[in-house]
């Protein structure tokens, strides 16, 4: 894959610590920097480094100077509420996307990938990121880079956001540009909008603010971010790809956004004027919702209202180590996504049902945008064999490495 277009002159390559964006004063995210992080000792790192080095050498000759990485995420709960101003609970993953790069004294941006057979779909993301940076006046240097991703594409684990963020970090760092994490999250989301998906902020904030020690609760109304504990030692998160690749731009994702926008307008016309977003409509007003809206609108709003409440149920349950309560909320979330928000598909429902009856599984649900993609489950010790056997019985389904990973960063290239 190659992006080439005339660029302004370059500044020195500098994977510097990025400074906080002064325009943002949100609690919890003020001052966040996308900085250097310690190198991980994952044995797969060696293989990926070699793959990137080989591809870089073949494409450009010589070596990159830096590598930018951005993690995928698994959203534990709070699905399809980020663009309604609701709370979400993503865990950033060790699975990530990397861009090995160097600034060059030339008027071009040239980005390749180690992946085979993914053009041209892949290309629209870097193209969109570059276009947004240019439009907003963020300097972009002459640049050579190679992308390598460990994230399954279309698995609902935020592969597109990881790509956008890694490319955005690489392009801005190569130009020596200090872009705050909150600003970069917004720029990357705007780039995703250009690809045709009216997505919320969750995936980008998760990539840029995630932590290895547990999930973060993001309040998508005010941008506040809070750390939340992981499950007690008796339990762990399991992630399963259904094997059904989802494609948000082609899915009903944008239709849900539009349906909900219409529902909110109707509610406001009917006197619910204190709700600027659907997340502001509390459970106490569901009777009004049912009276004012048709069946479809009622179901869509009911999902948003109940899902927002479930996020805080899960946060409180994790804080006291109550796996039963977390599991019950996961199961209720799936029913709501399936029946009220209509973003699941029968193959995913069948997998949720099959995993849900395995002894020791506290709860399971679809995760991410839906229409295929992945499932997240809270599972007890001793369930591994039964879970693996269940996944093996479902064609195309695979276990995904759920290991948590740190936020996006830029580090010097280590040969």
Task: Give the Cα separation of 364 and 370 in Å (integer).
Answer: 14
Contact (Cβ atoms closer than 8 angstroms) between residue 285 and residue 298: no
Considering beta carbons, is residue 67 or 366 the nearer one to ligand GLA?
A: 366
Where along the sequence are the contacts to ligand GLA (CB under 6 A)? 75, 79-80, 82-83, 199-200, 202-203, 368-369
Q: Which helix (H) or strand (E) holds 145?
A: strand 143-149
Considering beta carbons, is residue 66 or 84 the nearer one to ligand GLA?
A: 84
Within a 10 A sphere around the Cβ of 112, how many other Cβ atoms? 18
Residues marked as catalytic = 203
CB of 393 to ligand GLA, least distance (A): 27
Considering beta carbons, is residue 67 or 216 the nearer one to ligand GLA?
A: 216
CB of 80 to ligand GLA, least distance (A): 5
CB of 383 to ligand GLA, least distance (A): 26
Which phi and psi angles does 394 have, rounded to 5°?
A: -105, 110
Short-list 391, 386, 322, 402, CA closest to 351: 391
Contact (Cβ atoms closer than 8 angstroms) between residue 370 and residue 251: yes
CB of 317 to ligand GLA, least distance (A): 20
Considering beta carbons, is residue 10 or 197 the nearer one to ligand GLA?
A: 197
Contact (Cβ atoms closer than 8 angstroms) between residue 338 and residue 108: no
Contact (Cβ atoms closer than 8 angstroms) between residue 114 and residue 150: no
Instruction: Tell me the helix, strand and coil percentages in the chain, rounded to 5.
Output: 40, 20, 40
Considering beta carbons, is residue 142 or 373 the nearer one to ligand GLA?
A: 373
CB of 82 to ligand GLA, least distance (A): 5
Short-list 56, 89, 361, 84, CA closest to 236: 361
């Amino acid at each position: 894959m190659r992006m080439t277009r005339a660029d302004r002159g370059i500044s020195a390559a500098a994977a510097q610590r990025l400074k906080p964006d002064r325009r943002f004063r949100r609690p919890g995210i003020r001052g966040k920097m996308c900085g250097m992080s310690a190198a991980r000792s994952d044995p797969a790192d060696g293989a990926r480094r070699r793959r990137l080095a080989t591809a870089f050498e073949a494409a450009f000759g010589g070596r990159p100077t830096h590598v930018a990485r951005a993690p995928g995420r698994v959203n534990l709960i709070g699905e399809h509420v980020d663009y309604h101003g609701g709370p979400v609970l993503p865990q950033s993953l060790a699975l990530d996307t990397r861009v090995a790069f160097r600034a060059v004294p030339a008027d071009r941006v040239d980005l390749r990938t180690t992946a085979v057979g993914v053009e041209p779909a892949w290309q629209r993301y870097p193209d969109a990121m570059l276009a947004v940076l240019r439009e907003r006046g963020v300097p972009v240097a002459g640049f050579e880079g190679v992308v390598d991703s460990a994230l399954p594409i279309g698995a609902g684990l935020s592969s597109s956001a990881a790509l956008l963020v890694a490319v955005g970090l690489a392009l801005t760092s190569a130009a020596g540009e200090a872009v705050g994490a909150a600003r970069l999250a917004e720029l990357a989301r705007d780039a995703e909008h250009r690809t045709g998906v009216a997505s919320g902020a969750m995936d980008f904030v998760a990539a840029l603010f995630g932590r290895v020690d547990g999930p973060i609760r993001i309040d998508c109304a005010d941008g506040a971010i809070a750390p939340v504990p992981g499950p007690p030692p008796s339990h762990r998160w399991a992630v399963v790809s259904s094997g059904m690749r989802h494609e948000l731009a082609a899915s009903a994702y944008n239709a849900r956004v539009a349906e909900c926008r219409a529902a909110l307008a109707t509610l406001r016309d009917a006197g619910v004027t204190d709700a600027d977003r659907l997340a502001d409509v509390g459970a106490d007003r569901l009777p009004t919702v049912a009276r004012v809206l048709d069946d479809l609108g009622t179901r869509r709003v009911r999902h948003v209202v109940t899902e927002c409440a479930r996020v805080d149920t899960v946060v409180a349950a994790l804080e006291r180590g109550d796996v039963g309560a977390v599991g019950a909320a996961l199961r209720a979330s799936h029913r709501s996504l399936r029946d009220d928000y209509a973003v699941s598909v029968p193959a995913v429902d069948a997998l949720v049902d099959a995993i849900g009856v395995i002894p020791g599984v506290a709860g399971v649900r679809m995760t991410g945008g839906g229409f295929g993609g992945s499932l997240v489950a809270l599972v007890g010790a001793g369930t591994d064999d039964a879970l693996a056997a269940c996944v093996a019985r479902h064609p195309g389904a695979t276990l995904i490495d759920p290991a948590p990973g740190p936020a996006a960063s830029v580090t010097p290239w280590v040969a």
